[in-house]
Amino acid sequence: MFEATKLGRTVSKEFYKEQEPDLRYQLLETQRRLAGSKIPVVVVVYGVDGAGKGEVVNLLNEWLDTRGMATYAFWDETREDQERPRYWRFWQSMPPRGQISILFGAWYMEPMQRRMQDLCTDAQLDDELKRIEEFERMLTEDGTLLVKFWFHLPKQEQKKRLKKLAADVHSRWKMEAKKPELPDYDKFEKISERVIRQTDNGLAPWFLIEATDRRYRDLTVGRTLLKAINTRLEQPDVVPHGSFSHAPSLPSEASALVTVLDHVDLTQTVDKVDYKKRLPKLQEELNLLAWDAYHKKRSCVLVFEGWDASGKGGAIRRVTTAIDARLYRSIQIAAPTDEEKAHHYLWRFWRHIPRAGRLTIYDRSWYGRVLVERVEGFANELEWRRAYSEINSFEEQLVESGIILAKFWIHISKEEQLQRFKDREAIPYKQHKITDEDWRNREKWDQYKGAVNEMVIRTSTEFAPWTLVAGNDKPFARLQVLETVCDALRKGLKGGHCDPHSLSPREDKR
Amino acid sequence: MFEATKLGRTVSKEFYKEQEPDLRYQLLETQRRLAGSKIPVVVVVYGVDGAGKGEVVNLLNEWLDTRGMATYAFWDETREDQERPRYWRFWQSMPPRGQISILFGAWYMEPMQRRMQDLCTDAQLDDELKRIEEFERMLTEDGTLLVKFWFHLPKQEQKKRLKKLAADVHSRWKMEAKKPELPDYDKFEKISERVIRQTDNGLAPWFLIEATDRRYRDLTVGRTLLKAINTRLEQPDVVPHGSFSHAPSLPSEASALVTVLDHVDLTQTVDKVDYKKRLPKLQEELNLLAWDAYHKKRSCVLVFEGWDASGKGGAIRRVTTAIDARLYRSIQIAAPTDEEKAHHYLWRFWRHIPRAGRLTIYDRSWYGRVLVERVEGFANELEWRRAYSEINSFEEQLVESGIILAKFWIHISKEEQLQRFKDREAIPYKQHKITDEDWRNREKWDQYKGAVNEMVIRTSTEFAPWTLVAGNDKPFARLQVLETVCDALRKGLKGGHCDPHSLSPREDKR
């Protein structure tokens, strides 16, 4: 695979001097056009040690306007990073639309290094590469331009370079994060080939760069990047998309009137005496479980979805009043802010992923994509269809990192909703809780029902099942929620401590 | 001072039961009205151990709608916190307009604890209290409603409570962050009195709450908060403001035509040969200094301001190309995003304060408040006038925390600007750099000049002096900038390591 990077191609000093100013000018012009577009650009820089990745990144910072770009290295993690799922830091480094992020090593570095040190097997590496492919497809389908550079050197050249670098006092800083011994070139090349082969595709191709001659390397990088951005700018509306034919349409709403929701037994109730006895007990248990989770550094994410007037707020309140205010955060999802709009729709949920030992409650969530955005047409069909697998992948990452996850759909009957709407309108201090929009949403009950049905079917996974809550009787619903949360915490905490950054915990499932 | 908290006031169970539902309802109603206002509310909760601060905070989370509020405890700092100036974490906890933040201990806890442990003197504590007063005045002048609760107990009552808490298995979690031995009540009370006396004022008064009887305590807190928010809602436009008469007007622009800017010798130039020799030397030095700063964990903030077409971008580029891209971030300040607009104007600059060992370049900065916002009327006179002392205080905090700070105003003559505008219009690929707005700004040259003059005079402090750069000759300006940055780093790094969280480094200046 790396033959093409060992051809000994060079560029003369004169040619470089002649070409460089024009290239720089074109890059700046292109960057200026990019700023007015809706395209975020992610440049990944990786390859063998000594190939000059740092030099290239600094050069790009010199050529481009640094005001529209940012560079991220993932060499010294903060505790903020360590306390969250591995991909959290990559989400934090995503550029807003129209801007460029340059990522050193990005999501490739850690799996490569683990494999190099035999901390994982080939099969585990392959699993991780599948995750990477999913992640990159998700970005590109959202409109991100991904440009991935792999820098390569022949073995002898690398040896020469690294020796020279180590000896040169002025370049000592380039060796910062490096180990003193020479890397195992053959092993690295073998693993590289595996990595590139599995993550090289039409959406996010690798550009293998021969790095022996610096001028050749630099001109090639500049031109490749220029071409990639210009090509993408010419087709701003053509978002490339992979195949996601694995998601055949469910029967339309009309013919699927009996859904999973219809199996929820809405006649279930609890009597008042029983409720008053069980509620404080469950809350006390939850209080202790939350502290236990804190001490074991296990985080928890609770997702609440449900019909308008289904009693989401009341259920959430019974959970929050049980937990010390220092341990949880309650996030109400409404219209995105403009910073949030400038990113992938999942970005704003990643923002709030809790630190180790804390709990985040999402009052509405990423499921808006396949509910309100689907029904109201804010997301087109391609977008909401692929959201199912994006969401499954997102939740899988949360669970793998050790986060305890519970998802609730609070279900009520259409008649019950009507009754609650009317009640609200009749009570003066509840009138603000009912708006025209609620009535309009109600008219689309069947469409929403279809969407909820598909959502539950497609995203009720082994690692993140939905709990359908029988909501016609509010006390019953609240107890069901509290019991489910306690159960999830109790089960999750049996595992004790957990490293959110362990690679490929998927192996456990084999 | 605490006599009023030892009166033994109680509330009967019946009275509490009768009052509580109405209080809750009113709090919710008030919170709903608050959400539609532009007022951020900060509730500070502090006082003696055992008074039930945690209980009160949890109660407020129960009474209020948690979707419009957040609770912050500052008991386990993340590395993110530790690597930045002490107040950074408080800025991160500020609510957007219309919402409520509840802060445990807030900016009072650390100084109190340090004084308790004799880690600082009374005089150092007083300095810190002045900082707190400044900070609180700045918040309230920006429209924030600050409600500060101090909970107090008689000595015997505290002793009883703490013993009981320690013995109760179910309340063991309340003792989490506490030391096993009993606190020194008398000493704490003495220091408390000092703290309250100096930070109690019309803008941000303390409410001393008798905490012996829980029902009395809780009802009092609820009612006090309710009244404070309602009072503030009734006068939404009346932002209280303190005295800042220490800032008499400078002479108006007309009569002050000779300003500090006129003393900048714009005839200074550097010849091409000299420039080509000195530039790479300075850049090499800067590269090594930046790495040195990284290893010594010293951060650096560079601020660039200047006339349109003064060559700010070019100067910044000469700095950034010298520094490894992993060490700096360049922030271009344009119109604020809507999240930024929902906070104090300094919030968006605090966001980007660098981690330990990193460098942030601000391309335009907080000085916009006293330049463009002043001249264009985006900030009213009260707002931009008080900005001088707010900015001085902000910069003092940066410097005290060990950040190396340099500020540049790149000056050019009015004629030179005209020439550059014309040049830009004549060169096709530079045309986009010149807009109608630039020409409009130019017409206000004298107004801007007056504003720049006042800015330099009022904010050139001992700890953060302005560097006025002679910008008519671009190479000269670039060398001047690089030399100043290198000097600042060299001097700053002599001090070696530095604890950004040491309290009251002001003592050094005595």
pLDDT of A303 = 98
Amino acid at A259: T
Range A237-253 burial, b when 16+ CB lie within 10 A, else e: eebeebeeeeeeeeeeb
pLDDT of A12 = 93
In chain A, residues with a C-beta closer than 8 Å to the C-beta of B104 are: 326
Q: Give the pLDDT band (50/70/90) at residue B239.
A: low
Task: Say yes or no: A381 contacts chain B, CB-CB below 8 A.
Answer: no
pLDDT of A54 = 87
Q: Does residue A153 have a pLDDT over 50? A: yes
Q: How far apart are the first and last CA of chain A?
A: 31
Average pLDDT, chain B: 87
Most confident region among A416-430, B124-138, B176-190 by mean pLDDT: B124-138
Shortest distance between the Cα of B305 and any Cα of chain A, in A, equals 15
> Is the CB of B325 less than 8 angstroms away from the CB of A57?
yes
State mean pLDDT over B235-249. Answer: 51
Shortest distance between the Cα of B325 and any Cα of chain A, in A, equals 6
Q: Which of B25, B62, B329 sits opposite A321 (nearest CB)?
A: B62
Task: Say yes or no: B13 contacts chain A, CB-CB below 8 A.
Answer: no
Q: Does residue B180 have a pLDDT over 60? A: no
d(CA B405, CA B398): 8
Segment B61-84, tens digit of pLDDT: 889 988 788 888 887 666 667 778
Shortest distance between the Cα of B246 and any Cα of chain A, in A, equals 38
The H-or-E segment that residue A103 falls in is: strand A100-104
> Is the CB of B337 less than 8 angstroms away from the CB of A332?
no
Segment A184-207, tens digit of pLDDT: 899 999 999 999 989 988 788 999
State mean pLDDT over A378-382. Answer: 90
CB B59 within 8 A of CB B27: no
Cβ neighbours for A352, distance < 8 A, ≥ 6 positions apart: A329, A331, A360, A362
Q: Which of A61, A104, A173 sits opposite B320 (nearest CB)?
A: A61
Q: Does residue B509 have a pLDDT over 60? A: no
- Give the nearest chain B residue to A433 (CA atoms): B32
- Give the nearest chain B residue to A75 (CA atoms): B326
> Is the CB of A326 less than 8 angstroms away from the CB of B71?
yes
In chain B, residues with a C-beta closer than 8 Å to the C-beta of A22 are: none
pLDDT of A186 = 92
CB A317 within 8 A of CB B62: yes
Quote the percentage of chain A above a pLDDT of 70: 88
Q: Which of A469, A482, A471, A470 is nearest to A278 (CA)?
A: A482
> Is the CB of B58 less than 8 angstroms away from the CB of A321?
yes
Most confident region among A467-481, A484-498, B43-57, B129-143 by mean pLDDT: A467-481
Instruction: Provide the CATH topology of domain A3-234.
Output: Rossmann fold (3.40.50)
State mean pLDDT over A480-487. Answer: 97
Segment A100-140, tens digit of pLDDT: 999 999 999 999 999 999 999 999 999 999 999 999 999 99
Q: Does residue A3 have a pLDDT over 90? A: no
> Is the CB of B75 less than 8 angstroms away from the CB of A316?
no
CB A351 within 8 A of CB A383: no
Task: Say yes or no: B71 contacts chain A, CB-CB below 8 A.
Answer: yes
d(CA A268, CA A438): 26
Shortest distance between the Cα of B358 and any Cα of chain A, in A, equals 12
Structure tokens, B353: 């304060």
Shortest distance between the Cα of B311 and any Cα of chain A, in A, equals 14
> Is the CB of A62 less than 8 angstroms away from the CB of B320?
yes
CB atoms within 10 A of CB A383: 19
Residues 423-452 of B with CB under 8 A from A: 429, 432
Residue A333 DSSP symbol: -
Average pLDDT, chain A: 87
d(CA A83, CA A492): 17
Counting one residue from chain A and one from chain B, the pairs whose CB atoms sit within 8 A come to 105
Q: Does residue A78 have a pLDDT over 90? A: no
Segment B92-128, tens digit of pLDDT: 899 999 999 999 999 999 999 999 999 999 999 999 9
Q: How far apart are the first and last CA of chain B?
A: 31
Amino acid at B313: G
State mean pLDDT over B15-31. Answer: 93
- Give the nearest chain B residue to A431 (CA atoms): B29
Q: Does residue B313 have a pLDDT over 60? A: yes
Q: Which of B67, B73, B83 sits opposite A326 (nearest CB)?
A: B73
Q: Give the pLDDT band (50/70/90) at residue A62.
A: confident
CB B299 within 8 A of CB B406: no
Query: In CATH terms, are B3-234 and B265-509 the same topology?
Result: yes
Cβ neighbours for B58, distance < 8 A, ≥ 6 positions apart: A321, A324, A325
CB B404 within 8 A of CB B492: yes
Amino acid at B107: W
CB atoms within 10 A of CB B370: 23
Query: Which pTM does this prediction carry?
Result: 0.80
Q: Does residue B249 have a pLDDT over 60? A: no
Cα B269 off chain centre by = 39
Q: Give the pLDDT band (50/70/90) at residue A171.
A: low
Task: Say yes or no: A288 contacts chain B, CB-CB below 8 A.
Answer: yes
Q: Does residue A174 have a pLDDT over 90? A: no
Q: Does residue A397 have a pLDDT over 80? A: yes
pLDDT of A255 = 44
DSSP-based three-state secondary structure for B303: strand
Give the length of chain B: 510
Walk across the sheet containing A69-73 and list its strands. Answer: A69-73, A100-104, A41-47, A145-152, A206-210
d(CA A167, CA A165): 5
The domain segmentation of chain B, as residue ranges, is 3-234, 265-509
Segment A130-140, tens digit of pLDDT: 999 999 999 99
Q: Which of B146, B247, B268, B151 is nearest to B199 (CA)?
A: B146
pLDDT of A181 = 63
d(CA B285, CA B279): 10
Shortest distance between the Cα of B322 and any Cα of chain A, in A, equals 9
Q: Does residue A168 have a pLDDT over 70? A: no
Between A217 and B74, whose confidence is greater?
A217
Instruction: Provide the CATH topology of domain A257-505.
Output: Rossmann fold (3.40.50)
Residue bearing tokens 């700010």: B312
Task: Say yes or no: A62 contacts chain B, CB-CB below 8 A.
Answer: yes
In chain A, residues with a C-beta closer than 8 Å to the C-beta of B330 are: 66-67
Interface test with A, best of B173, B281, B320 (most A CBs within 10 A): B173
State mean pLDDT over A354-364. Answer: 93
Q: Give the pLDDT band (50/70/90) at residue B174.
A: very low
Q: Does residue A70 have a pLDDT over 80? A: yes
CATH architecture of B265-509: 3-Layer(aba) Sandwich (3.40)
> Is the CB of A32 less than 8 angstroms away from the CB of B339?
no
